[in-house]
Amino acid sequence: MNYEYFIAKRIIGSKAYKSSISAPIIKIGIAAIAIGIVVMMIAIATGIGLQQKIRDKVVAFNGHVTIANYDSNNSQESGFPISKNQEFYPEFKSVEGISHIQAVASKFGVIRTKTDFEGVNLKGVGADYNWNYFKEFLIEGRLPDYTKKRNEDVLISSYLANRLNFKVNDKFQMVFAKDDPEKLPNIITYNIVGIYNSGFQDFDASYLIGDIRHLQRINRWESDQVGSFEVFIDDYNDLDKKGVEIYQNTPSTLNSQTITDKFSSIFEWIKIFDKNIYGIIGIMIIVAGINMITALLVLILERTQMIGILKALGSNNWSIRKIFLYNASYLVVLGLIWGNVLGLGLLFTQKYFKLFPLNPSVYYVTEAPVYISLGYVIALNVGTLILCLLMLLVPSYIITKISPVKAIRFQ
């Protein structure tokens, strides 16, 4: 029988323990652990959730890797065309882990109404376009269908629709300038069939989705010529590796660029979230540990006579220390339980009811996204328990300095 555990259990279950002088300090220690777990869970869930949400939105508009001509032009408009007759298209068989590749083009134009105008990029897509991301973004209407004959259906963002007072089934004219300024521009009348909201205001304000065949006609390209290719991979964690492999397996006349390189400022910004998460975890564990150290010292002081009696009866220092470590472990676990209940409750509430909005112009999302995983919840709890117990080993050393004779007389 583990007598240290038995004594610790009797101490915890006694009425005197619950009404002792140390009871308020013990409650504060438990509360510190619970609050620490809640804060750490929120930091991890929102930090990782924000990273993934922003990353997925950038991927939705650009793919994981873009293959295009070498071009010094930094605009999003397609320059020189590329033939679709490539070994890597329509299936990138030379590189494993490629889920999809699609041909696109982009051209700047001006939306013209009776009272207003707006400059945007029309992203031309075809029958091979992957609509999975935009299914999630669609808030009204339907997705356009470009698998049949050329049509004037477009998908517009709610940001642009609100600015221009558009709604589903409205028609508008879009003006595209020609390379020769002396020639009249091309004017196409488009029909809005769907409205999307990605929450990424930088992209929502810049793009509408239309039929690539209109851009091929305006640019006087052949039917097999496009502006660029967007490549999607299976695992984002392999992006750098796959980016190199894709570059090595494309013609020397073409360049490939990963989204982390293309939008380096965005991805450098979201990397800062990792440092914030580690900083918050470190601070909260230190705060919780200090509170538990205080509680343990008070417990030792309150049980000084008991320590003296146990030493007089032959218990060694480590055995007595284990009694108080069992006691402290109970308090830490109790704090973890409360922290998990409150933390997971808040996270699931935000996940399904979206109570806390964010400014999309700053954070690229409309509400605080949360990422909930059993793996990090278990790791957080186990890590907190172990670190707190390691921190408690130091104050428990004070037991070795207690003299049995003085302890028994201690009042």
213, two tokens: 């065949």
205: left (phi over 0), alpha (psi -120 to 50) or beta: alpha
Give the three-state DSSP class for 46. Answer: helix
pLDDT tens per residue across span 201-252: 889 999 999 999 999 999 999 999 999 999 999 999 999 999 999 999 999 8
Name, in order, each residue with C-beta under 8 angstroms of 227's C-beta and a sequence gap of 6 or more. Answer: 68, 78, 79, 81, 82, 104, 105, 106, 124, 215
pLDDT tens per residue across span 126-151: 999 999 988 989 999 999 999 999 99
Q: Any idea which residue has 């700053």 for tokens? A: 362
Q: How far is CA 245 from the centre of its chain?
A: 26
Q: What percentage of the chain reaches a pLDDT higher than 70?
A: 94
Task: Note the pTM of the prediction, 2 decimals.
Answer: 0.83
Least confident of 182-191, 196-205, 302-311: 302-311
pLDDT tens per residue across span 37-89: 999 999 999 999 999 999 999 999 999 999 998 874 556 777 789 999 999 99
CA angle 320–326–406, rounded 5-degree value: 30
Q: Contact, 254 vs 69, CB < 8 A?
A: yes
Report domain extents, the chain: 3-56+267-409, 71-252
pLDDT tens per residue across span 88-118: 998 998 999 999 999 999 999 999 888 888 9
